[in-house]
Amino acid sequence: MEHVVNDAVEQALALLAIDSPSGYTETVAQYAYNHLKDLGFEPQYTRKGAVLVNLTPHLPQDNGLLLLAHLDTLGGMISRITGEGRIHIVNVGGLRPHNCEGENVRIRTRDGKVYTGTFQLHNPSAHVNPDYSDTPRTFDTMEVVLDEEVESREDVKALGISNGDVVCFDPRTTVTPSGYIKSRFLDDKLSAGILLALARQVANGDVTPTRPVWLHLTGYEEVGHGGSTSVPAGITDVVAVDMGCVGDNLEGEERKVSICAKDGRSPYDYALTSALIEAAKKSGADYAVDIFTNYGSDADATLSAGHEVRHGLIGPGVFASHGYERSHKKGVLSTLKLLDAFVG
């Protein structure tokens, strides 16, 4: 399955190269839509700008499975421009200021202009600021320094930059010769790439689903409501394919697929989770079952919106989530093995 893993990683890299904080996902959704169209499917855009596609239109549409991954990422939005021409932001999703210091950013204005800058502590030179080490890193103490010759609020506004403009952080994506995948926003573009690779397997006849299978690539997961809508008729099971947590007291790791039994909101459906575990065993996937106490998913949003379905959660292990993240091709392989066995 090496070629399938490489396909998943290539798709993830393409998605990671497209800025897409929650609410600003039109371009990345268009990429996914066009790719699925090229594979011979008939994707559709939802009212919320997500991408929905039926991989099995030839099957009776009852007892269907909906696989969810999200295309949106963490990011920022301009909240004010200071008198000296510095830009303050608020977070979109769970962006943390203390692990974004020194990162390059792109500001995307509403009239289509793009400006670059750096997210820095105010007065960021240790040679100048005696309080550099002791200053808390917050959205009040940090700011975007534009790569433009600006000295005032008026100079910044003259560029067409204003409050409410989107601030996108550079993902700094790289794949090492040893198979590690490092980038911001592997949550969840790595799993979105995995679902696009699964779609190619179905299109090529390498995987033959035994029940209706739909993909929903959402655009508002990081703010809590990505999977709340657009559940097709006949769906009985919803599985979020998102990142698996890696850290202290967890069995998951970057080279495994994680199966979540419970997150911060509730247990996942017991029978469906058991079926996912059996699929992992059957396929030979390297897997771990864990509880994610500080976590929510698109599948949670589906249930919270009132849809009467069973829900589950799987995904490749991702280290340092909501920061500069890392996974591995072996985790991608195990996730694909589990999915192939589960849908086929």
Which tokens sit at 252? 């998951």
Q: Which residues, 6 or more positions from 267, have their beta carbon under 8 angstroms from its beta carbon?
A: 261
Catalytic residues, by residue number, are 221
> 294-297 — which CB contacts under 8 Å span 24+ positions?
294/264, 295/245, 295/260, 295/263, 295/264, 296/224, 296/263, 296/264, 296/265, 297/68, 297/221, 297/227, 297/240, 297/242, 297/260, 297/263
Instruction: Specify which residues 69 forms β-bridges with.
Output: 217
Which tokens sit at 178? 């040893």
Q: Where does residue 286 rank: exposed (0-12), middle (13-18), buried (19+ CB within 10 A)?
A: middle
Q: Are 150 and 127 in contact (CB under 8 A)?
A: no
CA distance 112 to 91: 21
CA distance 148 to 132: 24
Which tokens sit at 248? 């202290």
Q: Which residues, 6 or more positions from 171, have their beta carbon under 8 angstroms from its beta carbon?
A: 16, 17, 183, 184, 185
Closest-CA residue to 166 (of 276, 252, 68, 87): 87
CA distance 304 to 311: 11
